[in-house]
Amino acid sequence: MEIIANEQQLSQKVEEIAAKINKDYQGKEPVIVGILKGSIVFYADLIRKLTLDCELDFMAASSYGSSTVSSGVITIKKDLSLDVTGKHVLVVEDILDTGNTLYLLKEHILQKGAASVKLCTLFDKPARRVRPVQADYAGFVIEDLFIVGYGLDCNEKYRNLPYVAVLNAEPSNF
Ligand code: IMP
Ligand code: MG
């Protein structure tokens, strides 16, 4: 597997993103929402670089349909535990692909009365976008490649790899 981000590159990127978040949210106490399961490794590294007072929460969403073909129909599998009314919410995701997931989640959190919702993703594949979603913080902008590791999976495998690699066998329309 071809490595596209090694441990050192990942940690440097996390530092850069955290520095921006620390600056932008100065004086605020955001709720940092990790999207399960893919964001867990990025999330754990990112929050430890935040110098802000913050609260932590998680959501899970899944795409309806087979594991390899995204239907675009997203269901919320786990909702927020905290009340985010009037709060500034920062959503942390592993990868922004078609945008279906983050489009729905952002709308959902805004409907709950959040004061603001910003999106932070470690990887961004703009070429695959079908929804008008833009990340406020995007780590690595990549081509239409299927990647695994550092939380990202293929059929639940490879999440534990400490680096991110391209999975060549995966069809582009997964
Ligand atoms: P979207 O709704 O199409 O933006 O997809 C977001 C979700 O698809 C991510 O949270 C990942 O779970 C999954 N995904 C998209 N691209 C990849 C990839 O290259 N590797 C692993 N998972 C991916
Ligand atoms: Mg995911």
Predicted pLDDT at 72: 80
Number of Cβ within 10 Å of residue 164's Cβ equals: 28
| pLDDT at position 171 | 54
At residue 63 the predicted structure's pLDDT band, cuts being 50, 70 and 90, is: confident
Angle CA 19–24–27, to nearest 5: 110
- pTM beyond 0.85: yes
- At residue 67 the predicted structure's pLDDT band, cuts being 50, 70 and 90, is low
The residue-averaged pLDDT of 112-136 equals 97
| Residue 79 annotated to the active site | no
Ligand nearest to the CA of 159: 1
Indicate if ligand 1 lies below 6 Å from the C-beta of 94. yes
Listed residue (54, 40, 46) closest to 19, CA to CA: 46
CA distance 126 to 32: 23
Reduced to 3 states, what is the DSSP secondary structure of residue 13? Answer: helix
Q: Are 39 and 57 in contact (CB under 8 A)?
A: no
Q: Which of 93, 97, 152, 158 to mutate to test the pocket of ligand 1 (most atoms within 8 A of CB)?
A: 97
Catalytic residue selected from 83, 97, 124, 153: 97
**Ligand 1 centroid to residue 55 C-alpha, Å:** 25
Picking from 51-55, 59-63, 83-87, 168-172, which range would have the lowest pLDDT averaged per residue? 168-172
Distance CA 90, CA 21 (A): 9
